Amino acid sequence: MPNGIIVMKYDERSGIDIKAKYPEEKVNISNKSFMHILNLHEFSKQPGFASLTIENINFITYYSGSETDYFFILMLNMLENPEDYEVVLEEVSNIILENLGENKYIEMVPSLFKRILEYPNNNKNS
C-alpha cells in the first residue's frame, strides 16, 4: 500500500517547491532524494514515469513535462511494483494539473490519495 503522495514543482530560480504532501506525518524524504527524482526526468523534459529506490523507499514519479514542471511522487513500500500505479498516478496527476488555478487541487489531495489506495484492488477485480 502506498505510504504517501507528494506534489512538487521545480523552478530554475527558486529550486524545489513542495506544493502538497499527504499524509503529512508519513511523508518525509530528504532533499537528496528530491534531487535524485528531479535528475531522473531532467534530460528528456518530456512527460513520463520513472521509478527508483532510495533510503529503503520505493518511488514512482510522474513528470508533467517542461511546460508546467510538476512532479507527482508516490511513495511505495519495497514489495510494491511501481508499474502497478502508472495508470492511476497519471489520472490523479492530470486532475491536479487541471485544478492548479487558485490552488484548488490542495484540498483534493486526500481524496485523490484515497483513489490511489483503492486502485490496485479495483483494477484486479476488473
Distance CA 15, CA 123 (A): 36
Instruction: Check residue 109 and give left, alpha or beta (phi > 0: left; psi -120 to 50: alpha).
Output: alpha
With 0-12 CB in 10 A as exposed, 13-18 as middle and 19+ as buried, what is 57? middle
pTM of the model: 0.89
pLDDT digits (tens, 9 = 90+) for 47-78: 999 999 987 889 999 999 988 899 999 999 98
| Predicted local confidence at residue 15, as pLDDT | 86
Distance CA 70, CA 48 (A): 11
| Predicted local confidence at residue 125, as pLDDT | 41
| Predicted local confidence at residue 59, as pLDDT | 93
124, pLDDT greater than 50: no
pLDDT digits (tens, 9 = 90+) for 4-51: 999 999 888 888 899 999 998 888 888 888 888 888 887 777 899 999
**Phi, psi (degrees; rounded to nearest 5) at 3:** -95, -20
Domains and CATH numbers, the chain: 4-125 (3.30.450.50)
